[in-house]
Structure 1
Amino acid sequence: MQYWLFKSEPDEYSIDSLKAEKNSIGRWDGIRNYQARNLIRDDIKVGDGVLFYHSSCKTVGIAGFASVVSEPYPDPLQFDPESKYFDIKATQDKPRWVSIDIKYESHAKSFLPLTTIKATPALDDMVLVKRSRLSIQPVSKDQWAFIVNATKTDLQR
């Protein structure tokens, strides 16, 4: 099992949005960064844990937890000319972008803001702290365990 941090702007798609989806399963789509795409396509597996991170808002940080519940598949938004994620170079035979489904596990019982993450020595090596622009980032098992404990969240992982 691996662990990941997925960033989303809460006014676009929040931990509450994921929880409200049918069966609390949502499609993680609209990724248009090659490095993040490659992580979804090549590294992220069913059963992996996800830190759900709210970004580009008043208080950024870890809002909850999810798990990966599908293999990667072509992002349907790349084929929709009405979507802001439409890609004229993508075809059904040669899709360029992938999506993955994640399932809501829980809200963080105590929201963990980025300011706290950056001030915590045990999290100094997080990709989030070193290069925070990537929307999907690996998280170590120790970082995952620390964050679960810091958010006072009871997860069976």
Structure 2
Amino acid sequence: MARWLFKSEPSTWSWDQQVAAGAEGTFWNGVRNHLAKQQMMAMQVGEQGFFYHSNEGKAVVGIVEVIRPYYPDHTDASGRFGMVDVRAVEALRMPVTLDAIK
């Protein structure tokens, strides 16, 4: 089973917002990178990933699970990109910073 990295700016979509989405989860949209698109297309329901606050905080703060596989991203006017749905599984007791990972 694969493990993934979901990067988000806390000011755009934070871990607290992900948790607040509850068991229904939410869509993970806005990806406009072709390599990331290929990775998202490979994601399977039940696979998990790290929720990483990038640029602001630079730390893994929780674990999410893919609950819906790749489908078209309604925010992409070109129709070339898609998204997956994820739900929060658990928060990390302590954030794991990028410096610690390196």
TM-score, L = length of structure 2? 0.94
Structure-to-structure mapping, 1:18-37, within 5 angstroms: 18-37=18-37
Q: Structure 1 or 2: larger helix share?
A: 1
Aligned residue number for residue 68 of structure 1: 66
Please state how far the C-alpha of 1:23 moved relative to its aligned partner. Answer: 2.8
Q: Which runs of 5+ in 2 are unaligned?
A: none
Q: Which has the larger radius of gyration?
A: 1
Structure 1 alignment gaps of length 5 or more: 79-86, 119-157
Identity %: 31
2:69, 2:24 → 1: CA distance? 17
Deviations 1:82-135 (A, max 9, x none): xxxxx3xx2xxxx201010001001111110001111xxxxxxxxxxxxxxxxx
Q: What letter matches 2:98 in structure 1?
A: L
TM-score, length of structure 1 as denominator length:
0.62
Structure 1 moving runs of 4+ over 2 Å: none
Tell me the secondary structure at the aligned position of residue 76 of structure 1: coil
Partner of 1:46: 45
The reply to whether residue 9 of structure 1 matches residue 13 of structure 2 is no
Distance 2:7 2:62 in 1: 11
Any conservation in 2 of the 1:18–1:24 contact (CA below 8 Å)? Answer: no
Cα distance in 2 between the residues matched to 1:115 and 1:23: 31
- Gap change, CA 1:11 and 1:50, over 3 Å in 2: same
Q: For the Cα contact (< 8 Å) 1:9–1:55, is it kept in 2?
A: yes
Partners of 1:77 and 1:22 in 2: CA distance: 22
1:61–1:113 CA contact under 8 A, matched in 2? yes
How many residues of Structure 1 are paired with residues of Structure 2 in the alignment?
102
User: What is the root-mean-square deviation in Å for CA atoms of aligned residues?
Assistant: 1.1
**What letter matches 1:71 in structure 2?**
P
